[in-house]
Amino acid sequence: MKNLAPHDRPREKLARLGPSALGDNELLAIVVGSGSRRATALEVANAVLEAAGGVQALTRWGHGAACRVRGVGPARASRILAAVELGRRTLMRAAQARPQCASPRDAARQLIPEFGAAPVEQFGVVLLDTRHRVLKTKVLSVGTLDASVVHPREVFREAVAGGAAALILFHNHPSGDPMPSRDDVELTRRLAAAGELMGIVVVDHLVLTDTRYCSFKETGRL
Residue 7 has pLDDT above 50, yes or no: no
CATH of the domain at 170: 3.40.140.10
Are 79 and 123 part of one and the same domain?
A: no
For residues 122 and 139, is the Cβ–Cβ distance under 8 A? yes
Amino acid at 16: R
- Percent of the chain exceeding pLDDT 90 equals 47
**How would residue 99 be classed by pLDDT, with cut points 50, 70 and 90?**
confident
Length of the chain: 222
Residue 202 has pLDDT above 60, yes or no: yes
Range of weakest confidence among 80-84, 87-91, 124-128, 183-187:
87-91
For residues 157 and 185, is the Cβ–Cβ distance under 8 A? no
Are 145 and 50 part of one and the same domain?
A: no
- 97: in domain: no
**How would residue 190 be classed by pLDDT, with cut points 50, 70 and 90?**
very high
Are 163 and 206 part of one and the same domain?
A: yes
For residues 58 and 80, is the Cβ–Cβ distance under 8 A? yes
**How would residue 93 be classed by pLDDT, with cut points 50, 70 and 90?**
low
Instruction: Tell me the average pLDDT across 96-125.
Output: 90
Could you tell me the CA-to-CA distances from 4 to 9, 66, 129, 175 in Å, in that order?
6, 26, 57, 38
> Given CA atoms 116, 119, 123, 127 in this order, what sign does their dihedral have?
negative
- 180: in domain: yes
- 21: in domain: yes
> How far is Cα 219 from Cα 214, in angstroms, rounded to an integer?
8
Are 108 and 211 part of one and the same domain?
A: yes
**How would residue 163 be classed by pLDDT, with cut points 50, 70 and 90?**
very high
Count structural domains, the chain.
2
For residues 202 and 188, is the Cβ–Cβ distance under 8 A? yes
- 221: in domain: no
pLDDT for position 147: 52
Are 83 and 113 part of one and the same domain?
A: no
Domain-ending residue, one of 34, 68, 90 = 90
> How far is Cα 55 from Cα 66, in angstroms, rounded to an integer?
13
Instruction: Tell me the average pLDDT across 116-121.
Output: 90
Residue 18 has pLDDT above 80, yes or no: yes
Are 180 and 211 part of one and the same domain?
A: yes
For residues 132 and 167, is the Cβ–Cβ distance under 8 A? no
Task: Name the residue with higher pLDDT: 6 or 13.
Answer: 13
Any alpha helices (H) in the chain, and if so which ranges? 10-17, 24-32, 41-52, 63-67, 74-90, 104-111, 152-161, 182-198
Domain range for 59 is: 6-90
> How far is Cα 79 from Cα 203, in angstroms, rounded to an integer?
40
Range of weakest confidence among 1-5, 98-102, 164-168:
1-5
Task: Name the residue with higher pLDDT: 31 or 34.
Answer: 31
> How far is Cα 158 from Cα 98, in angstroms, rounded to an integer?
19
Task: Name the residue with higher pLDDT: 201 or 97.
Answer: 201
Are 128 and 209 part of one and the same domain?
A: yes
Are 84 and 108 part of one and the same domain?
A: no
Residue 5 has pLDDT above 50, yes or no: no
Tell me how far the alpha carbon of residue 134 is from its chain's centroid: 18
Nearest one of 188, 120, 118 to 148, comparing CA atoms: 120
